[in-house]
Chains A and B, each alone.
Chain A
Amino acid sequence: MKTLLEVKGVSVINKDKYRIKNITFSIKEGERIALLGKSGAGKSSLLSVSNGSLPPSEGSVKWKGESLKSISRKQSTKIATLWQDLRIIEELNVAQNVNSGALGRNNFFWGLRNLIGIIEKSECINCLSAAGLPHELIASQISNLSGGQKQRVAIARLLRQEAELVFADEPLSSLDPLIAKDILMLFLARSENNIISIPQTYLISIHQPELIKHFTRVIGLKNGEIVINKYTNELNSYEIDSLYR
């Protein structure tokens, strides 16, 4: 299997303190990795470094063998992120937010048209329905949606991006458990028959160790360092417990 992302000896230092220290791991095509750790263990820093939004203080991150810093815009469209705070634009409507996932593939004027009205409606609807939202919501303002619906809009935008690799930062933390599971399943469901292409590779940080059975591999962080990096089936519950101790 092809290696998509390679993280080598990465540290993030802020105010003379290590947020993460000497992290090395890689992500292969098709892997579904769960990122576990207590709050403050460095999960967010690790994700930000991996998706390129935070330059590492030390070490290197490579996307398909090329330094993440210097990859083309076209390549960065292949990496998508579902942010913990969603980062959807409250002032815009659902379609505009979903389409903003495709800005990387389109030019500036397309971006302007998107601000003015609803464009590429059918593509939007496909993404919305893949994310489990009814198409009637396409013109709704974000501010009128519930928390779960907003999360699904963020996912729809992510699907619209047509990425290969997805990072997600605690996508379930703010949801009630039942919906959380629903969303995770939607996310991890490998539906073959879909009209839109669904990313196949994930690195998701989660708070619920009981969900790791849906993942192929687990990376555990403690005090900014990797303490677990194993396939799910090689893992025992004692190791996971030690993360939270």
Chain B
Amino acid sequence: MRFKTLNPIAFTFIPTLAILPVAIQFFKGMHLGGVQIIYEFLISSLTPSLNTLVVQSAWEGIQITIAIALLSWIVSILVGIFLGIISSDILWLTIGKHIWIGKAFRRILAIPRALHEVVWGLLLLQVLGLTPWVAIISLVIPYSSLTSRVIANQLDTVDRKNLIALRQTGASAISSLATTMSPVLFPFVISYGGYRLECAIRGATILGVFGLGGIGTELQLSLRSLQFHEMWTSLWMLAIVMLVLEKSLDWGRRSIFAIEGYTSIFLYMPFLVSVIIVISFTWLHYLDINLFESLRFHSIYWPSLQDLYSAFTGLPIVKLIITTCLLTLLSGGIAIGLPPLLLLITNNAIAKEILSLFWLFLRLIPPPLAALIFILFTTPSISVAALALGFHNMGVMGRILKENLDMRSDYLYNAINSTGASNNISWLYGKLSLESKKYLAFASYRIDVVLRETAVIGVVGGMGLGWQLQESLSSFYWAEVVVITTLFIILTLIGESISDKARRYWQKNTSDFSLKPSL
């Protein structure tokens, strides 16, 4: 098959094709009617509101956001590691050969990933009411299951030779797994976990939904009322936090990895974790958010089969699914394809720094705000939604790609460069080619996120499952909510099994495990 001759590096660029139809549609509808308001938006960045009340509530908001994010983050990492381990093939292969258990866990864990935090929050709210725990749990649910997928895949791609060797000496399954896997897992968790913290902070902007305040409340309200000066007060504060976080995590990671035999830091992990938990509890306590209140459970309405059936037949299912898939593919294409392309064409250090600031900006702007900005330039279409979602996620993908490339050594790049190849070509062969498989793995996780984020991009109207879900939730039509969430879950499962197959295919290409050794 032709397909088989394509290598991963080609696949990192293929997604850019999505930009073509999107750009065509965008420019076809382009107009200048929105220039004035975009100008206001941009110029307001220089004059954010310094009104005491605004600054004060933004300051309190960012603290709540950070404290909740910290708590949800650490819990989701811990739960994610545990779930990741029990959903890996290698665990079950080693202890008892029932690989199907790991597979089953992986499939079940796709369910939490399929729904957006806000949707989880609104569902949990029905049961638990407006408590801070709803916010925390609804962040932890999708995040820990995403982490578990990444961890499980990481564990399953570790070379099994060392494990086989230890098993052969008579070491127990669990001892040999711990000895061979944790030295790989540990540094991975450090870098991946750091990156998740920023995601948690961005995710915690949904806290406003649950009456917890936070910077997201300020952002959403000022977005609704188009108060750009007030919006920029919050955006700048968030930007500073994200920048400080990015730089300090970078520094932290480098200094941990610089320690000889950093695995001994294992020892401090439980302490570090408990300190983070205690800090966030204390902090929230001072912000008047009480986590010790007992939970009350509320009865919920369960739709009957009859209701479900009529909800199912009442919805234009095929159209919804097609629009959702199209939107996901276009946004995913932009998010995945553009970062390597942009890095390829910017070949000096300063340009690359500017690019990473640009990516920070893209991550900072929530997709609904991005959609509003784009739609002021052009007529509404699926391309606007795709651009908004795509650009936001491009910020994430770009950061991951650049960080991983920066950690690679330059020797191959220099070797190719010394043969007289241009900087761009040397970068392509000497850097990107080494990273492309890992990048594509992250890309496949990101597609999940894009799919569930289609639920929060409503401005273009009537687009796909995500919008329909918002509409059903706001009508409290639970039968419809069940049908649509089920469709989300099915789409996620299909998407994941495709990307799993692709990954397995690339892995097979590199390490030919023709003989199946017993573990």
Is there an interface contact between A89 and B179, defined as CB atoms closer than 8 Å? yes
Distance between A244 CB and nearest chain B CB, rounded to angstroms: 25
Known contacts A55-B518, A91-B187, A115-B266; decide if A81 and B179 are in contact (CB<8 Å): no
**Interface membership of A238, Cβ < 8 A:** no
Which residues of B lie under 8 Å from residue A245 when comparing CB positions?
none
Binds A, one of B77-85, B169-177, B387-395: B169-177
**Interface membership of A93, Cβ < 8 A:** yes
Binds B, one of A101-109, A128-136, A215-223: A101-109
Known contacts A89-B162, A91-B183, A115-B182; decide if A54 and B266 are in contact (CB<8 Å): no
| Total interface residues in chain B, CB < 8 Å | 31
**Interface membership of A59, Cβ < 8 A:** no
Which residues of A lie under 8 Å from residue B167 when comparing CB positions?
53
**Interface membership of A139, Cβ < 8 A:** yes
**Interface membership of A2, Cβ < 8 A:** no
Is there an interface contact between B518 and A53, defined as CB atoms closer than 8 Å? yes
Is there an interface contact between A51 and B514, defined as CB atoms closer than 8 Å? no
Known contacts A108-B175, A139-B261; decide if A52 and B168 are in contact (CB<8 Å): yes
Which residues of A lie under 8 Å from residue B514 when comparing CB positions?
14-15
Is there an interface contact between A108 and B261, defined as CB atoms closer than 8 Å? no
Mark each residue of chain A from 191 to 234: 1 if its CB lies under 8 Å from any CB of chain B, else 0.
00000000000000000000000000000000000000000000
**Interface membership of B305, Cβ < 8 A:** no
Which residues of B lie under 8 Å from residue A14 when comparing CB positions?
514-515
Q: Which A residue's beta carbon lies closest to that of B187?
A: A91
Is there an interface contact between B170 and A76, defined as CB atoms closer than 8 Å? yes
Mark each residue of chain B from 157 to 190: 1 if its CB lies under 8 Å from any CB of chain A, else 0.
0000110111111111011101110111001000
Known contacts A89-B179, A91-B183, A111-B178; decide if A104 and B169 are in contact (CB<8 Å): yes
**Interface membership of B350, Cβ < 8 A:** no
Is there an interface contact between A111 and B179, defined as CB atoms closer than 8 Å? yes
Is there an interface contact between A111 and B175, defined as CB atoms closer than 8 Å? yes
**Interface membership of A100, Cβ < 8 A:** yes
A126-165 residues at the B interface, CB under 8 angstroms: 139, 141, 161, 163
Is there an interface contact between A115 and B263, defined as CB atoms closer than 8 Å? yes
Is there an interface contact between B169 and A76, defined as CB atoms closer than 8 Å? yes
Q: Which B residue's beta carbon lies closest to that of A77?
A: B170
Is there an interface contact between A115 and B169, defined as CB atoms closer than 8 Å? no
Is there an interface contact between A108 and B264, defined as CB atoms closer than 8 Å? no
Main secondary structure of the interface of B (DSSP, over half): helix
Complex Cα gap A103–B169 (Å) = 8
Distance between B515 CB and nearest chain A CB, rounded to angstroms: 6
Complex Cα gap A116–B180 (Å) = 13
Is there an interface contact between A54 and B515, defined as CB atoms closer than 8 Å? yes
Complex Cα gap A110–B175 (Å) = 9
Contact of B168 among A19, A53, A108, A141 (CB under 8 A): A53
**Interface membership of B267, Cβ < 8 A:** yes
Which residues of A lie under 8 Å from residue B263 when comparing CB positions?
91-92, 96, 115-116
Distance between A51 CB and nearest chain B CB, rounded to angstroms: 6
Distance between B295 CB and nearest chain A CB, rounded to angstroms: 35
Mark each residue of chain A from 6 to 19: 1 if its CB lies under 8 Å from any CB of chain B, else 0.
00000010110001
**Interface membership of B517, Cβ < 8 A:** yes
**Interface membership of A75, Cβ < 8 A:** yes
Distance between B165 CB and nearest chain A CB, rounded to angstroms: 4
Is there an interface contact between B261 and A141, defined as CB atoms closer than 8 Å? yes
Kindly state the interface size class of chain A when it binds its partner. Answer: 35 or more
**Interface membership of A178, Cβ < 8 A:** no
Which residues of A lie under 8 Å from residue B261 when comparing CB positions?
92-93, 139, 141
Contact of A48 among B170, B179, B517 (CB under 8 A): B517
Complex Cα gap A226–B184 (Å) = 40
Distance between B298 CB and nearest chain A CB, rounded to angstroms: 43
Is there an interface contact between A116 and B266, defined as CB atoms closer than 8 Å? yes
Known contacts A14-B514, A87-B162, A139-B261; decide if A81 and B168 are in contact (CB<8 Å): yes
Which residues of B lie under 8 Å from residue A107 when comparing CB positions?
172, 175
**Interface membership of B406, Cβ < 8 A:** no
**Interface membership of B288, Cβ < 8 A:** no
Complex Cα gap A76–B169 (Å) = 6
**Interface membership of B260, Cβ < 8 A:** yes
Known contacts A93-B261, A161-B169; decide if A114 and B174 are in contact (CB<8 Å): no
Known contacts A103-B176, A117-B267; decide if A73 and B183 are in contact (CB<8 Å): no
**Interface membership of A187, Cβ < 8 A:** no
**Interface membership of A85, Cβ < 8 A:** yes
Known contacts A54-B515, A108-B175, A115-B263; decide if A89 and B180 are in contact (CB<8 Å): yes
Mark each residue of chain A from 111 to 123: 1 if its CB lies under 8 Å from any CB of chain B, else 0.
1101111000000
**Interface membership of A34, Cβ < 8 A:** no
Complex Cα gap A140–B100 (Å) = 40
Contact of A116 among B169, B264, B517 (CB under 8 A): B264
Known contacts A81-B165, A115-B182; decide if A75 and B170 are in contact (CB<8 Å): yes
Which residues of B lie under 8 Å from residue A168 when comparing CB positions?
none
Which residues of B lie under 8 Å from residue A80 when comparing CB positions?
169
Is there an interface contact between A91 and B179, defined as CB atoms closer than 8 Å? no
A1-42 residues at the B interface, CB under 8 angstroms: 12, 14-15, 19
Interface CB pairs A-B, < 8 A, 19? A12-B515, A45-B515, A48-B517, A53-B167, A53-B168, A73-B170, A74-B170, A77-B170, A81-B169, A87-B161, A89-B179, A89-B180, A91-B187, A104-B171, A104-B172, A108-B172, A114-B179, A115-B266, A141-B260
Q: A88-B162, A115-B182 are in contact. List 7 more A-B contacts (CB 8 A).
A: A14-B515, A76-B170, A91-B187, A103-B166, A103-B171, A103-B179, A108-B175
